[in-house]
Amino acid sequence: MAHAAPAPGGQAPALGYRPPNVFDERTHAMARWLLPAVLGLIYGYWAAANVRYGGPITGMNVLFGVVTGFVFFAVFRALETFAPRMRREVHAFLWAAFTGIAVGFLYSLSNRGHSILGSAGLGLAVAVPTFVVMFYRYYTREDAAGHRVR
């Protein structure tokens, strides 16, 4: 049977040990732009598909999808840029509001037979758990002074 070799000195690795970074800064920079762009395309297509209700694709439908996707992209990038500078409560609230509004907007486009309260209710139902998860994430990754632990 094979056994793992003991660590030098019989101790665990130092607390400051960080695993190697698999991707370089260029890859991370590309991902910061590529992820919102792809999500914006998907969101715009989804919104355009909801608006046409299974009918033919028209120029206005395509324009609506492109504009919706661009707005989604712009707000997503703005949140990625400015929200980390905020306190953790505001940071979590901004992401929760963005998620709730995005879902509520898609729901409002999806069916002509429901009220705006249904869209607002679904948006709120998505935003509240999103806030809880994001707040927990930011709370566990900051020290007592509110500085991000890297």
| pLDDT at residue 85 greater than cutoff 70 | yes
Which of 7-11, 27-31, 37-41, 57-61 shows the lowest per-residue confidence on average (mean pLDDT)?
A: 7-11
Location of structure tokens 């732009």: 33
Domain boundaries, the chain: 25-73, 86-142
pLDDT band, residue 48 (cuts 50/70/90) = very high
Q: Which pLDDT value is given to residue 142?
A: 73
Q: What is the pLDDT of residues 91-143, one digit of tens each?
A: 899 999 999 999 999 999 887 777 889 889 999 999 999 999 999 988 888 77
Q: How far apart are CA 43 and CA 101, in angstroms?
A: 12
What pLDDT score was predicted for residue 12? 53
**Which 3 state secondary structure label does DSSP give 148?**
strand
76: closest CA among 40, 100, 107? 40
